[in-house]
Amino acid sequence: MTKIMIQGTGSSVGKSIIVSALCRIFKQDGYSVCPFKSQNMSLNSYITLDGKEMGRAQVLQAYAAGLQPEAYMNPILLKPTSDKKCQIIVNGKVYGNSTAMEYHNMKLEFRDMLRDHFKKLEENFDIIVMEGAGSPAEINLRDRDIVNMGMAEIADAPVLLAGDIDKGGVFASLAGTMLFFNEEEKRRVKGTIINKFRGDIDILKPGLKMLEDVIKVPCLGVIPHFNLALEDEDAAVQFNKKVTAPIDIAVVKLPHISNFTDLDALKSEDDVSVRFITSVEEFGNPDLLIIPGSKNTIEDLIKIRKCGLESCIKKYSKTGIVIGVCGGYQMLGKTISDPYKTETDVGGADGIGLLDIETVFDREKVTTRVKAVSDMDFPFIDKNGSLEKKKLNVYGYEIHMGICKYGINAGPLFEFTEKNRKKVHMKDGAVNTAQNVFGTYIHGVFDAVDFREYILNRIRQNKGLSYKKSKIYENLREGEIEKLAHIVRRSLDIDKIYAIMGIK
């Protein structure tokens, strides 16, 4: 067993995507490989087959390694609820809520757990590809670090340091990061990677040589800037604001927006544009409006109410299609109550009132993988362009603390048929009587072909566009991972990386 760790000069330099690429490259070369990030801060999370919660970045890395995502790949997940507070997920389950200082003081408690996790991984995989977080040169956090050099020490892992040249100042950021390492940490860094390069590599080469002379560490390659339909690090997501395709989907960018990876399958459609809005001026006249998940539903609802977006949503709902997912679903209801203050000190709020449901937050979080079928027959455009009635099959996962009660003017949108691989018969979501306002707790609802195809073809029909079959999203993702591995393999000195890991 061997390992390698990718650290970066800062957030969003491409650590997650480089780890994904290396996982696929090592898998292609015949090794059993596993991704590992000891601590992730993200509002994009995922539920494993056994009902545990983990960060989305490690999900993509798991797929790249040919594995099912497991919580041990990301033992600690921090989900911010405000600027100074977060929910702590440990080994896939809620550990508690804390302030930033409280968590900083408790980090040392997790070192033994992380060491034990890593030993088990060493016994089961040929190669472990580790990922750091943010910058390893945060000297005020160094004494309690468990994700960058602190984790590298626990695992005794060699480190490759990545920098983003697209931001500018990559040489200074790499050299500056090395400057703040102690001598032992400097010895652990075995190479640098320049990421997101545009231009003529021959112009860059003299700078690479000068950098090596300064920091005494070789550059292992330059990865070009590329555009692939893959999830990147959370902070690297570009929240597009422009309409770039015939179908205009507007998404309310909530202050505490979570699980916006739910939209990736929609982005993969050739004639679909997904843009994010934060104000009345940006609303426009979309073909579909989506209110996504939130880690602080009540406070986010209050904020979109104050900025005037709620009025726009109500007006739009008279003629347009509105879909709420998880927190967005709760907002579409009549009331939201938080009697135990699980998300916020605000006890409750009136909802937007487009769905006849009422939500109450419970103490326990629901985390399940699900399969479901539409609770009613939907008008569906077949391949000949004619209408037929059919039920829609969907799949995804739940992450919520709310329990919804139906009123007389709301019917369930889906019926769960399976939860965490157990057969069930339970209601999910809601639809209004006009069947143009939908809500669901299912994250990833657009990944399934049926619901995505139904919604988009309904829009195409309204706009006089041709019917289109939607592609299987998982197949698209697999093809993009292969492209990623090809780009990175030809850009980095993979033989040198194998040598650093002790593999000939």
* SS (HEC) of 170-237: HHHHHHHHHHCCCHHHHHHEEEEEEEEECCCHHHHHHHHHHHHHHHCCCEEEEEECCCCCCCCCHHHC
Instruction: Encode 132-157: b = buried (16+ Cβ within 10 Å), e = exposed.
Output: bbbbbbeeebbeebbbbbbbbebbeb
| Domain at 238-473: CATH code | 3.40.50.880
Residues labelled as active-site residues: 326, 443
Residue listed under structure tokens 């034990």: 116
Find the mean pLDDT for residues 453-474: 92
Q: Which of the two residues, 234 and 52, has the higher pLDDT score?
A: 52
Task: Examine domains 2-38+56-69+110-230 and 238-473 and report if their fold is the same.
Answer: yes
pLDDT at 383: 62
Please say if the pLDDT value at position 310 is more than 90: yes
Sign of the four-CA dihedral 219, 221, 226, 228: negative
Strand partners, 403: 360
Return the CATH superfamily for domain 2-38+56-69+110-230.
Answer: P-loop containing nucleotide triphosphate hydrolases (3.40.50.300)
Banded model confidence at residue 84, pLDDT cuts 50, 70, 90: confident
Express each pLDDT in 184-213 by its tens digit.
999 999 999 999 999 999 999 999 999 999
Residues present in the chain in total: 504
Q: Which tops the pLDDT comparison, 478 or 382?
A: 478
59 has pLDDT over 80: yes
- Write down the pTM of the prediction: 0.93
- The tens digit of pLDDT for each residue in 137-171 reads 999 999 999 999 999 999 999 999 999 999 999 99
Question: Which residues, including other chains, have CB under 8 Å from residue 345's CB and lie 6 or more apart?
Answer: none
Q: What is the DSSP letter of 412?
A: -
The tens digit of pLDDT for each residue in 251-267 reads 999 999 999 999 999 99
- Determine the residue type at 223: I
Domain coordinates of the chain in residue numbers?
2-38+56-69+110-230, 238-473
Compute the C-alpha angle 169/174/178, nearest 5°.
Answer: 145
Q: Is 77 exposed, middle or buried (0-12, 13-18, 19+ CB in 10 A)?
A: buried
- Name the nearest CA neighbour of 455 among 372, 403, 394: 394
Tokens of 122: 């060493």
Task: Give per-residue pLDDT as tens, 102-146.
Answer: 999 999 899 999 999 999 999 999 999 999 999 999 999 999 999
Q: Average the pLDDT over 82-99 and give the result.
A: 92
Place of tokens 């998982």: 474
CB neighbour burial string for 175-212, b if at least 16 within 10 angstroms, e if fewer: bebbeebeeebeebbbbbbbbbbeeeeeebeeebeebe
